């Protein structure tokens, strides 16, 4: 497993900032923001760097750039079921949280477009984490604001579709084409078959999709045994004859 703070595609100047005192320098926010834009363009994701930027925003609220924050959250959706989205969300102001705990937060949540954007992305995250994939796509397509929030993330739908396929492949050995169509939001059977074969490497068997065995979906029997020594029984029996104090 790759260490949380590592990213193979991280530029050298970002690495230098993260490993030095400049990661706490408010002037580096513009550098991190440019890096977020680069991640959106080239389909990479650097959670550690993004969290560093959100931490700077937390320390310097006047520097917050809503578009950058929502881009970070949208990118985090493309790497579910990792904890990236929750980690990012935890660094945002209280007023943006799905369940404001104070009257001030509730008031802010009713008036801020930024708060509405964060909560809509949180809704998408909840649907993905709970494996409600069909509901995720219908929600995504139900409001133009969702399209605006994910517009800067190149290949957003494709990246999410691949992550859903990975989760399906880790869970099922076979699945009906109809169900998979709704989970991947694929509009035609031909498109589904192409995705299944070319991208996933699975097999199409009529109306059923066959997933090759892997270490996650393989059915394995697990036999557990315990060794209990006679001396352990002896202690139990001895206590039974001990007189109460």
* Whether residue 46 sits in one domain with residue 148: yes
Q: Does some domain include residue 7? A: yes
Residues of the chain with pLDDT under 70: 1-2, 97-111, 221-233, 236, 240, 242-245
Q: Does some domain include residue 244? A: no
pLDDT value of residue 6: 86
* Whether residue 211 sits in one domain with residue 136: no
Give the integer Cα–Cα distance in Å for 143 and 74: 15
pLDDT value of residue 65: 94
- CATH of residue 78's domain is 1.25.40.250
The predicted model scores a pTM of 0.83
* Whether residue 20 sits in one domain with residue 39: yes
* Whether residue 186 sits in one domain with residue 203: yes
Residue 7: CB atoms within 10 Å: 19
* Whether residue 52 sits in one domain with residue 128: yes
* Whether residue 166 sits in one domain with residue 123: no
pLDDT digits (tens, 9 = 90+) for 163-199: 999 999 999 989 999 999 999 999 889 999 999 999 9
* Whether residue 66 sits in one domain with residue 139: yes
pLDDT value of residue 99: 58
Count up the domains in the chain and report the number.
2
Render 155-205 in DSSP notation, one character per residue: THHHHHHHHHHHHHHHH-SEEEHHHHHHHHT--SHHHHHHIIIIII--EEE
Note down the domain range covering 14: 1-99+110-154
pLDDT value of residue 80: 94
* Whether residue 204 sits in one domain with residue 129: no
């Amino acid at each position: 497993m790759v260490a949380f703070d590592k990213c193979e595609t991280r530029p050298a100047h970002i690495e230098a900032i993260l490993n030095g005192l400049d990661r706490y320098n408010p002037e580096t926010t513009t550098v991190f923001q440019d890096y977020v834009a680069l991640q959106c363009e080239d389909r990479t994701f650097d959670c550690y760097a993004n969290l560093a930027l959100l931490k700077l925003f937390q320390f310097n609220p006047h520097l917050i750039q809503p578009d950058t924050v929502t881009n970070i959250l949208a990118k985090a959706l493309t790497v579910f079921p990792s904890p990236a989205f929750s980690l990012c969300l935890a660094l945002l102001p209280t007023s943006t949280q799905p369940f404001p705990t104070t009257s001030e937060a509730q008031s802010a949540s009713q008036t801020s477009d930024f708060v509405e954007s964060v909560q809509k992305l949180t809704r998408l995250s909840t649907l993905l984490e709970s494996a409600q994939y069909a509901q995720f796509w219908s929600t995504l397509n139900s409001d133009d604001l969702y399209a605006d929030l994910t517009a800067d993330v190149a290949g957003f739908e494709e990246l999410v579709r691949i992550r859903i396929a990975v989760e399906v492949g880790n869970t099922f050995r076979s699945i009906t084409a109809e169900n998979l169509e709704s989970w991947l939001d694929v509009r035609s059977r031909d498109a589904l078959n192409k995705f299944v074969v070319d991208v996933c490497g699975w097999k199409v068997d009529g109306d059923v999709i066959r997933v090759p065995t892997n270490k996650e979906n393989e059915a394995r029997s697990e036999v557990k045994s315990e060794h209990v020594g006679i001396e352990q029984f002896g202690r139990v029996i001895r206590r039974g004859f001990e007189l109460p104090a």
